[in-house]
């Protein structure tokens, strides 16, 4: 059950507003990024939240991967995004693909500042 879990908190994103508020557009770019990274999408759920007094609602996009998952949450009123990429490394090391997916998505949002974390999960059986 070993794998790699990457997270990123993106602040002051300079991307076009569609990437923060347009669920179908964000879902499509997620699928494209997954494929470009060499991972396999097996399902997708995208939920757009209603507008609030602070502005347009954000989006949560989740892509179920054969290798595990991708999840994105946007906060357009803060121009913020959280990214979560987890890949299982059972049967092969997908770590480079996880990093490629994360880099692709970060480039979409164009943050001025980001905080990234990397967690190695589980143990490799000897």
| pLDDT tens digits in sequence order for the chain, 126 residues long | 689 999 999 999 999 999 999 999 999 999 999 999 999 999 999 999 999 998 999 999 999 999 999 999 999 999 999 999 999 987 789 999 999 999 999 999 999 999 999 999 887 555
Q: Which of 13, 48, 68, 94 is catalytic?
A: 68
Q: Which of 73, 95, 99, 114 is catalytic?
A: 73
User: Residue 58 in contact with residue 20, Cβ under 8 Å?
Assistant: yes
Is there a catalytic annotation at residue 107? no
3-state secondary structure 35-67: HHCCCCEEEEEEEECCCECCECCCEEEEEEECC
Is there a catalytic annotation at residue 30? no
pTM of the model as a whole: 0.93
CATH code of 3-115, in short, is 3.60.90.10
Is there a catalytic annotation at residue 68? yes
């Amino acid at each position: 059950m070993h794998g790699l879990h990457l997270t990123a908190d993106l602040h002051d994103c300079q991307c076009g507003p569609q990437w923060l508020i347009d669920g179908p557009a964000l879902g499509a770019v997620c699928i494209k990024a997954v494929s470009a990274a060499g991972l396999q999408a097996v399902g997708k759920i995208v939920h757009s939240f209603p507008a609030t007094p602070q502005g347009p609602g954000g989006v949560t996009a989740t892509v179920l991967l054969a290798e595990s998952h991708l999840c994105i949450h946007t906060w357009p009123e803060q121009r913020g995004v959280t990214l979560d990429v987890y890949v299982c490394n059972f049967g092969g090391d997908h770590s480079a693909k996880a990093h490629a997916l994360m880099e692709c998505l970060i480039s979409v949002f164009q943050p001025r500042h980001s905080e990234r974390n990397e967690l190695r999960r589980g143990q490799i059986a000897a």
